[in-house]
Amino acid sequence: MYIALSGALIGLGEIMDRREFIVGLTAGIGMPTLAWAKTELSSQISLGELQVMTLSDGHLTLPRSMLFAGLDPAAVDRILQRSKVAQGPIHPPINVTLLRHADRVVLFDTGSGPGFQSTAGQLVTALDAAGVGPEEVTHVVFTHCHPDHLWGVLDDFDDPLFPNAEYMMGQVEWDYWFDPNTASTISGDRASMAVGARRRLEVMEERLSRFGDGQEILPGVAAHASYGHTPGHMSFELRDGGQSLLILGDAIGNHHVSFSEPEWHIGTDQDAETAAKTRRRLLDMLAHDQMQVIGYHFPKGGIGRVLKAKSGYRFAPRGEG
């Protein structure tokens, strides 16, 4: 059986089309060292016949004011210091999940693509390191349509990067971002994000299937509504026999503040109240069931478990207690 989840997601807000970077998001300096080699041991796992690994798309550079606006800076700093996060901008990694099962090669999200931030857009290099060519990808499944999850679906020439893939997305998420009115009704600092999403959805439209909450979209892969971060965000449970893992997307978008204080609002959520309630529910469930997770912006490849702490929760990367 698949567990039932509901909630909300964390991700990038206030992000402009790659041709119109929002001020403060282009602060990445130089190109990143590919995280693949450093995190290889913690970024691969087998669930029965399901072979899962995470691929590094690099990392983002985000101002603290974007993520933690409205929160007590001193309290935020104390949590970040405990997690050994350096002063200044936040540099969350980008972990794209790759699933191999039978004759399927499945990507969950596609990273940031070229031209978004200089420290991101490394997915093709990571795929090559994993011995996978873009033409070998059979399915691309999206958690949501924020730039660091969707924009890598096109190459430098705005052509599909994965020419043989079937695309899959939740119906609610598709409806929201494909609606031409979204760009004029979303908050002003996110309008270009909506324009960029629709442009990519238009390219994929004829090869994109849509699904609802609770559906088994592929053998061993079930979709679970986790609305809030975006209106139709989905998480995905991978299961084979008694082994399971939850691909969070941005349901829990960081391993520090949102673990320590799940109810605190995060500036990148479109519905911050729903997102906070969802984080709490997910963290409770994951800590109780000790279900493995992949966090899109978690450290060391993103695979690990949620543990209860004296105050809140903590993330334990795979191989660490």
Mean per-residue pLDDT for 105-121?
93
Mean per-residue pLDDT for 204-219?
97
Mean per-residue pLDDT for 95-114?
97
Domain ranges of the chain: 36-317
Give the residue from 130, 157, 112, 109 showing the smallest Cα distance to 51.
130
Query: Measured between alpha carbons, how far is 231 from 234 in angstroms, rounded to an integer?
Result: 10
**Residue 33: is its pLDDT beyond 80?**
no
Give the residue from 279, 167, 168, 296 showing the smallest Cα distance to 226.
279
Query: Measured between alpha carbons, how far is 165 from 67 in angstroms, rounded to an integer?
Result: 33
Q: Read out DSSP for 181-213?
A: THHHHS-GGGHHHHHHHHHHHHHHGGGEEEE-T
Q: CA 275, 290, 213, 142: dihedral to nearest 10 degrees?
A: 80
> In the numeric block, which tokens belong to residue 273?
């109240």
- Provide the CATH topology of domain 36-317: Metallo-beta-lactamase; Chain A (3.60.15)
Query: Measured between alpha carbons, how far is 271 from 6 in angstroms, rounded to an integer?
Result: 14
| pLDDT band, very low/low/confident/very high, at 181 (cuts 50, 70, 90) | very high
pTM over 0.85: yes
- Mean pLDDT is lowest, of 32-36, 138-142, 154-158, 284-288, for 32-36
Query: Measured between alpha carbons, how far is 37 from 85 in angstroms, rounded to an integer?
Result: 22
Give the residue from 100, 97, 8, 14 showing the smallest Cα distance to 51.
100
What's the full length of the chain, in residues? 321
Q: Maximum distance among all alpha carbons in the chain?
A: 51
46 by DSSP, 3-state: which? strand
